[in-house]
Amino acid sequence: MMTKANSGVQQPIIGYHLDDERHWVAQLACGHNQHVRHDPPMVRREWVTTSAGRESMLGFQLACKKCAEGAPADDRPFIPGNDQ
């Protein structure tokens, strides 16, 4: 079944971590993770390239396809000082 690229349940960003390839991953309140790459010209997310930019987007809601699919929560790395 084909779905729109932005379809999903809106969930706020509560934190971030880097994946094994050093790409930023947003941690959503629902327990799922979602990559937030800055990959121009296809995806422009300059805010992800700086600490201040990422912090400014905490609480911003992203469409979570995993929620719409009923997927279980994702694993998240332990980050000292990050209580999420």
Question: Could you tell me if residue 40 is left (phi over 0), alpha (psi between -120 and 50 degrees) or otherwise beta?
Answer: beta
Task: Answer whether residue 84 shows pLDDT above 60.
Answer: no
Helix and strand numbers (H, E) in the chain are: 2, 4
Query: What ranges do the domains of the chain cover?
Result: 9-68
Task: Tell me if 5 sits within 8 A of 52, measured CB to CB.
Answer: no
Task: Answer whether residue 40 shows pLDDT above 90.
Answer: no
CA atoms of 34 and 50, how far apart (whole Å): 17
Instruction: Give the contacts of 69 (CB within 8 A, at least 6 positions apart).
Output: none
pLDDT at 41: 84
Q: What is the mean pLDDT of residues 9-31?
A: 95
The tokens for 52 are 């201040």
Q: Tell me the CATH architecture of domain 9-68.
A: Beta Barrel (2.40)
Task: Answer whether residue 69 shows pLDDT above 80.
Answer: yes
**What confidence category does residue 49 fall into, taking pLDDT thresholds of 50, 70 and 90?**
very high
Task: Answer whether residue 2 shows pLDDT above 50.
Answer: no
Task: Answer whether residue 3 shows pLDDT above 80.
Answer: no
pLDDT at 52: 97
